[in-house]
Structure 1
Amino acid sequence: MPARATRMDAVGTETAFEVLAQVKRLGATGRKVYNFAIGEPDFDTPDSIKQAGIAAIRENHTHYSPSAGIAPLREAIARHAGRLRGLSLSPDEVVVTPGAKPIIYYTLLACVDPGDEVIYPNPGFPIYESAIRLAGAVPVPVYLREERGFAFDPAELAERITDRTRLVILNSPHNPTGGVLGADVLSEVARLAIEHDLWVLSDEIYSRIVFDRPFSSIASLPGMRERTVILDGFSKTYAMTGWRLGYGIMPVPIAEAVARLVTNVESCTATFTQMAGVAALEGSQEPVREMVAEFAARRDLVVGLLNEVPGVRVGVPAGAFYVFPNVTEACRRVGAPDARTFASRLLEEAGVAVLARTAFGTPAPDEDQQFVRLSYAASREQLREGILRMRRWVERGGRA
């Protein structure tokens, strides 16, 4: 068989899906497994959205559509996304894609040349680094540290900027920590972006899932709209992960370039899925409010329960549906050398699935603490029972 292309060596993966396969394997043996590893709302897509999708199929919205997306959806996105961010947006600035991930790749292809440097958060969504490398660019991490509440550090960002830096990736609310960037951090990042003439890719996929403060976008700051690509979508807000419906908001010349990339790769996003997206935006937002309120209650529950586990400490995240506890002492208690071993044994021995910090990038050279990510996209009962299992496992020194 001929050798595969060497570029595949740069393509990473999402450990969450690998752990999901392990969860299913254990479940097939009859074991009860509590899965806190996958980043997916456990709610069903609201009925009104499902009915809109079904109606669209019945009405034969099953043909090609414009590569940038159908006009009704782009108009709805411009209205609703603009209202959330205090911006007056044009549909011409919107490109619809099958899921939000393509916006990461297409932004890099449209804005970054091979050899350029791209700064990204670490820990962070693992596809950032994978996409940067696949685009032929150089990934440059800014490390998010516990003592700063895992906030993006503008001082470290300034140190990382060189004459080869082309783009900065932000993610707020943040995966995996649940952190939300404050106005002071956003303002300083904006200042640096303008000073050094940089693009910003702002991943705002969790923009509607915030608890303690209003959502803020860097694109709303003076001088930033013309250099920012906003990534957002329907998967998290409307529990539509399997529908594959996302979008980017960007300056028109970049939107035209990204639409051309869509033409080359997938032609368009499924038309009936886009019709469901219109219904999601234009219909009642009460299901979203109810989901976010439930996530807030679960957050408080999980933080309290985890801080009762020996050797575990965690702060209170401000958004998304993740917690990122420090398990350094818990690792010592169970005889695990690192969080990866801790997570693997926790699954095999206690039936609780979490993700190690290494699933979100290589730690900083001076990072000597161990972390795991838990998703609280699970029922309160499951969260109580799963974390109780974790607590008992740690208390027993890791014995099953």
Structure 2
Amino acid sequence: MSMVNQTQVHETRLSDAVNRIAPSGIRRFFDLATSMDNVISLGVGEPDYTTPWNVREASIHSLERGLTAYTANAGLIELRRAISTYLTKRFAIDYNPDNEVVVTVGASEGIDLAIRAIVNPGDEVLIVEPCFVSYAPIVSLTGGVPVPVPTEISNDFMVEPEEIVKRITPKTKAIMLSYPNNPTGAVMSRKKMAEVADLVIEHDLTVISDEIYAELSYDDEHVSVPTFPGMWERTILISGFSKSFAMTGWRIGYLCAPEPYASAMLKIHQYAMMCASTMAQYAALEALENGQEMMDEMITSYRQRRNYFVKSLREAGLSCHTPGGAFYAFPSIKETGLTSEEFAEAFLMEERVAVVPGHVFGVGGEGHVRCSYAASMSQLEEVVERLKRFNAARIGR
């Protein structure tokens, strides 16, 4: 049997939902870049810092003490208490660690749990885009209907309340928000978020708020969704340790929500995962208790890199808004006359720089590319030189 026929046979054995979703567009460019020499990758969204030694040591010490058994399904109570204390001190949000906090396998599992816990087949979920690539596929896998809500560079990628209203129907169940945003780096002003909160309450929606980049806010304090009047009781907060504590590979995150939501998500979690890695949980506990110094260093460094890189992108001929958070620039490449995918492929092949085409992040992403500035200054400087050379033949600069 030919390979094509084998593929067709196996596709008939898979679920229709799985066959309908596409592989991650981010991973495609990352995998291509790793097969080439002399590539500078600005494609993967992770800090260029190593997890601090004291955090790694806490995990090693847990192994030495033989703490290798399952934890409670919801996670170590010590860690849940530390998460609760941290959120109260930093963002003025109160969650009961006993029944409103669940430790997850990365924030990604938290997103999956939240969607599976609230979405029935046919329910519509508003997804503010551009956004992280997993949101719409996970909604589709539950039988829900993802409904994109576009944002525009002209408004610094903040979602406009009228764009939400236009897409609300009797089937609308929830809205997914992610600020600071991946891929745009956008943040929401307090005024704009208050307007969105009023709409959510008016239409009785649930909010899934992915705040994994909350600590990486550079110009203003982070505006957390559940802090607005009437929003705590209808918000599922997702966060974790990957970005702010440089712990991507540890796969440790958390979700916080009122007990009925948290209990529902815990039921799914206990069957799907049992619990997050015990060793990673002890590392996360140490990060919360003694990881602030490195976080502050990262924030200062990323702010400096952002300022340099955005200015340099503009000088190289690409328009780019100033991202208020995360560690991504999302420049427009329309001046080159190329699509996002054409630009990303040509830039990789000709100049050995990997970026992610904006269309993989949904509505409004086309015409842009995502560039992570979580790279060394020397690498960013080299990228700028390669970009100037790449653009010279295309936009006359």
In the other structure, the counterpart of 1:16 is: 26
Q: CA deviation at 1:363?
A: 4.3
Q: 1:383 — aligned with what?
A: 380
Q: Which residue of structure 2 aligns with residue 301 of structure 1?
A: 308
1:187-233 CA distance string (max 9 Å, x none): 11111111111100000000000100001111001111110000000
Partner residue, 2:49: 43
**TM-score between the two structures when normalised by the length of structure 1:** 0.94
Give the Cα separation in 1 of the matches to 2:91 and 2:297.
21
Aligned: 1:202 with 2:199 = no
For 2:324, the equivalent position in structure 1 comes to 318
> What is the letter of the counterpart of residue 15 of structure 1?
G
| Aligned 8 A contact 2:180 2:188 in 1 | yes
Q: Which amino acid aligns with 1:83?
A: K
Tell me the secondary structure at the aligned position of residue 396 of structure 1.
Answer: helix
Q: Aligned-pair distance for 1:34?
A: 1.1
For residue 66 of structure 1, what is the aligned residue in structure 2? 72
Q: Counterpart of 1:352?
A: 353
CA distance in 2, matches of 1:67, 1:316: 41
CA deviations over 1:309-363 (Å, ceiling 9, x no partner): 13x111211000001111111x23xxx3x12101101001110111111110144
Residue of structure 1 in register with 2:4 after alignment: none
1:106 counterpart = 2:113? yes
Instruction: Please state how far the C-alpha of 1:65 moved relative to its aligned partner.
Output: 1.1
**Separation in structure 2 between the aligned mates of residue 12 and residue 95 of structure 1, nearest angstrom:** 29
The 2-side partners of 1:341 and 1:39 are apart by: 21
Identity of matched residues, %? 37
Residues 153 and 321 of structure 2 are in contact (CA less than 8 Å); yes or no, is this contact kept in structure 1?
no
284 and 245 in structure 1: CA distance in 2 versus 1, 3 angstrom threshold: closer
- Counterpart contact for 2:150–2:363, Cα < 8 Å: no
Q: Does residue 229 in structure 1 map to residue 236 in structure 2?
A: yes
Moved over 4 A (4+): none
For residues 192 and 26 of structure 1, the distance between their equivalents in structure 2, rounded to whole angstroms, comes to 48
* TM-score for the superposition, normalised by structure 2: 0.94
Aligned in 2, Cα 1:19/1:275: closer, same or farther, shift over 3 Å? same
The Cα shift of 1:397 comes to 3.6
Contact between 2:95 and 2:257, CA under 8 Å: does it hold in 1?
no
Counterpart of 2:342 in structure 1 is 341
Q: Which amino acid is the alignment partner of residue 187 of structure 1?
A: A
Amino acid at match of 2:162: A
1:349 partner amino acid: E
Aligned equivalent of 2:5: none
Q: Which of residues 109, 130, 135 is equivalent to 2:137?
A: 130
Equivalent of residue 212 in structure 1, options 185, 208, 219: 219
Q: How much has 1:9 moved relative to structure 2?
A: 2.2
In the alignment, what sits opposite 2:260?
253
Which amino acid in 2 is paired with 1:385? E
CA RMSD, aligned part only? 1.5
Matched residue, 1:177: 184
